[in-house]
Amino acid sequence: MNDLEYIVSHFATVGTVGEIAPLGAGLINDSYKVTTVGNETPDYVLQRINHDIFTDVDMLQSNIEAVTRHIRHKLEMAHATDIDRKVLHFLSVRDGVKTYWRDDNGNYWRMMVFIPRAKTYTTVNPVYSYHAGTAFGNFEAMLADIPDTLGETIPNFHNMEFRLQQLHEAVGRDACGRVAEVRYYIDEIQRRATDMCRAEQLHRDGELPRRVCHCDTKVDNMMFDENGHVLCVIDLDTVMPSFVFSDYGDFLRTAGNTGQEDDPELERVNFNMEIFEAFTRGYLETARQFLLPVEIDNLPYAAALFPYMQCVRFLADYINGDVYYKIQYPGHNLVRTRAQFKLLQSVEQHYDDMHRFIDGLMV
Ligand code: GN1
Ligand code: MG
């Protein structure tokens, strides 16, 4: 038995484990597909939880269990079909109830059932974006009455003031002597800081609520079925109380980018208004039942906030010496920073169009 097989043997799988192969391209956790022999038993996904980032694994898994339990319940109440493909199912360990296992090296592992015949995409067309919009509105609507109080698996995860604070600290330390090279971006970020911290200010003023959000709605975290409909949202590590801007904004940051998140060719990076329109139409169809006017009015702000926040986070990591995000080559975090900044500039050029479009939908 190799190491991964040994890890898998601690979970309550059914069937005979065959191949275990790397899966996906997340920047944080390591994932493997665990294939079982024959067609009668499900396949699985094994993940090593990044314990440096998710320090409270027990809270993390409690959140995820509460969310999946609640969504499953909602789907059952609505007599939905194909429920096992619409909500993730985490396995318990063989000798207990917990859904994670700690190995002797201090690594934490978890397993879930692999959703069959589902696809993920890094780019989507407007039709898929529309379905994604309705799916996120539904996801938030389903979680609106979750009875459990969810913990913040990463404290201040989407708190813009906190992210700027981290950047300022990184600049102050200048641990790798990289600050001089990136001064332009630091200044551009600073110019927008007050405006971009609008959500925190509105919250302090008592105008903007926190709701349970997914907080990592990049497009490749959605599972689509054969017809381009969204089955479910995966990667639930960051489900926690946040502003609705998180899910709306991060989807557009990824799906609405005509280039790649880390595109070295900045001409390729632009904000795609067709995707914006389709996604927003879908999102408002399902979410307008619970959104406040202040949330709707600030959706264009959310479209700018997430490229901005990601730019700040990538830049801080670059300055810190690439300690957070996995990188593929030296300078990768700077390339990511530039691409996110270019995307932000493109979003900013569309503020008026976005407002007009949303106003048109709300009449
Ligand atoms: C990380 O794990 P992954 O790759 O889905 C990050 C997100 C960023 C994203 C950028 C816990 O997500 O916040 O938006 O990279 N997740 C965490 O691609 O920091
Ligand atoms: Mg992810």
- Map tokens 């692999």 to a residue: 114
* Centroid of ligand 1 to alpha carbon of 310 (angstroms): 9
* Centroid of ligand 1 to alpha carbon of 216 (angstroms): 6
Is the Cα torsion angle 91, 31, 134, 163 positive or negative in sign? positive
pLDDT tens figures, 175-209: 999 999 999 999 999 999 999 999 999 999 999 99
42 pLDDT band (50/70/90 cuts)?
very high
85: Cβ contacts below 8 Å, ≥ 6 apart: 115, 116, 117, 118, 223, 225, 231, 232
List the single range of 53-67, 197-211, 225-239, 314-328 with lowest mean pLDDT. Answer: 225-239
- Ligand 1 contact, 238 CB (< 6 A): yes
The DSSP output letter for 90 is: B
pLDDT of 226 > 80? The answer is: yes
Terminal C-alpha separation, the chain: 63
Q: Of all atoms in ligand 1, which is nearest to the CA of residue 220?
A: 5
The best mutation among 29, 216, 239, 248 to test binding of ligand 1, ranked by most ligand atoms within 8 Å of the C-beta, falls on 216
132: Cβ contacts below 8 Å, ≥ 6 apart: 124, 219, 222, 230, 251, 255, 279, 282
206: Cβ contacts below 8 Å, ≥ 6 apart: none
Q: In this structure, which residue's CA is closest to atom 12 in ligand 1?
A: 27
pLDDT at 209: 95
pLDDT tens figures, 58-86: 999 999 999 999 999 999 999 999 999 99
Q: Of all atoms in ligand 1, which is nearest to the CA of residue 154?
A: 11
Q: Is 331 helix (H, G, I), strand (E, B) or coil?
A: coil
* Centroid of ligand 2 to alpha carbon of 47 (angstroms): 12
Of 66, 57, 131, nearest to 282 by C-alpha is 131
Residues of the chain with pLDDT > 90, as a percent, come to 83
pLDDT of 140 > 80? The answer is: yes
159/67 Cα distance (integer angstroms)? 22
Residue 336 CA: distances (Å) to CA of 180, 252, 254, 263: 18, 16, 12, 7
Average pLDDT over residues 48-56: 92
Determine the distance from the C-alpha atom of residue 66 to the mean position of all C-alpha atoms in its chain, rounded to a whole number.
18
